[in-house]
Amino acid sequence: MSTAKDKLATRMDIGTQKGSGWIWIAYSAFFLIEPVMRHNSRYWLKCGAIYLIFLALYIGKMRARTPRKSHLLVAGFYLLGVFTLPLNEGASTFFIYFAAFLPFVVVSSSIVLVLIALSSLTMMAEGLSLHLDAISLAVWSCFVVVVGTSNLFIARQKRSDCKLHLAHQEIEQLAALAERERIARDLHDVLGHTLSVIVLKSELAGRLIERDTQRAALEIADVERTARTALSEVRVAIGGYRAQGLAAEMELARNTLNAADVALSCESPLPKLSIAEETALCLTVREAVTNIVRHARAKHCRMRFAMTADNYFSLLVEDDGTHAVVREGNGLRGMRERIQAMGGRFSISTSAGTTLRVELPGATQAAIAPVNAVAQ
């Protein structure tokens, strides 16, 4: 059975293969500059064979489905650069491919930085020992470092997205399983006794129908009433999982933040709101939690429900993240428009972490459940 870490690594590998991943093969053209300048057929054959090896490594990396295979193929770029630099100075580009792919296959940032620095120093040392141009080597080394560190930040973002997606999938699966168990238990409790009564009364009515028609009719009427009651109870039981509400959203937020190693604290009670207001707050909590997990790099998150002096109900979401949101994307913009359409107020501050405040007019402060029972 694969672990969550294996799933995350596999998803990261597949993620780097989508979109414009094949475009970057164009940078390998630097390796072909020297053969073009030499006009030597034998040299062309040697470089052509090396380039075919590069293409095999590149295509293999694009199609890799396991972390182990990706590690080996990425190491292949480094070795190809080491062994072919004496033949062609353009082989420096293979070190750049090594640095570019490395952050997506190695999770530890410190290891990635060490390996990027090692590849850059290896290329410089080998190039100087071969008496290659020092300025060109310095430029290539800068490219290795810049490309590698840039992709390190991109890989972190992708890893956060994958982790969030996997956490949502697991939470949804657990929630679906819990709901199935609850519905099965409720239906058993609701229908078990009721159906037994219906069966007994139906049998009794069948026996009485010939010798006591009036009593049989009463029993049939009782069967009808019992069946209608059971139908109503089934509707209530099934409706229970259709309207999860703010309490369920807070539980989902706690599970999601826990999956990202973010502690959630909230001590104010959950409010009693209209369906529209509760839906707006549920969507706000969901978007805020998503932003914290994806962008904030936070360790703690605090939520507080309260009333303002001018009778606005407010939700405050704070985190201690070091990477505050500086640009309003589609999620925050949609949240702002939704709140303002209801006559509410929306504000976000990034002075220390990120503080999100949503205020809805006319809400009451009646508590239906203590939040610390579900979000401790």
Q: Which CATH number goes with the domain that contains 210?
A: 1.20.5.1930
Query: How far apart (Å, rounded) are the C-alpha atoms in residues 306 and 75?
Result: 56
Q: What pairs with residue 346 in β-bridges?
A: 358
| Phi, psi dihedral angles at 166 (to 5 degrees) | -65, -40
User: 339 and 300, same structural domain?
Assistant: yes
User: 230 and 112, same structural domain?
Assistant: no
Question: What's the pLDDT score for residue 282?
Answer: 83
Residues of the chain with pLDDT under 50: 1-2, 4, 8, 14-15, 17-20, 241-243, 363-376
The two tokens of residue 332 are 């925050």
The closest alpha carbon to 281, from 334, 318, 245, 227, belongs to 245
List the CATH number of the domain containing 317: 3.30.565.10
User: 151 and 35, same structural domain?
Assistant: yes
User: 155 and 111, same structural domain?
Assistant: yes
User: 327 and 292, same structural domain?
Assistant: yes
Whole-prediction pTM: 0.50
Q: Which of 138, 167, 196 is the last residue of a domain?
A: 167
User: 88 and 45, same structural domain?
Assistant: yes
The two tokens of residue 253 are 């937020």
Strands 263-265 and 300-307: parallel
Amino acid at 68: R
Q: Which of 112, 133, 167 is the last residue of a domain?
A: 167
Question: What's the pLDDT score for residue 244?
Answer: 61
Q: Classify the phi-psi angles of 88: left when phi > 0, otherwise alpha if psi is within -120 to 50, otherwise beta.
A: beta
Four-residue CA torsion sign, 184, 187, 192, 195: negative
Q: Residue 176 sits in which domain range?
A: 170-239
State the total domains in the chain.
Answer: 3
Question: What's the pLDDT score for residue 233?
Answer: 66
User: 150 and 8, same structural domain?
Assistant: yes
Q: What pairs with residue 305 in β-bridges?
A: 315
Question: What's the pLDDT score for residue 75?
Answer: 93
User: 33 and 89, same structural domain?
Assistant: yes
User: 233 and 105, same structural domain?
Assistant: no
Q: Which of 134, 167, 200 is the last residue of a domain?
A: 167
Per-residue model confidence as pLDDT tens digits over 265-317: 987 888 888 887 888 888 888 888 878 877 788 899 999 999 888 888 899 99
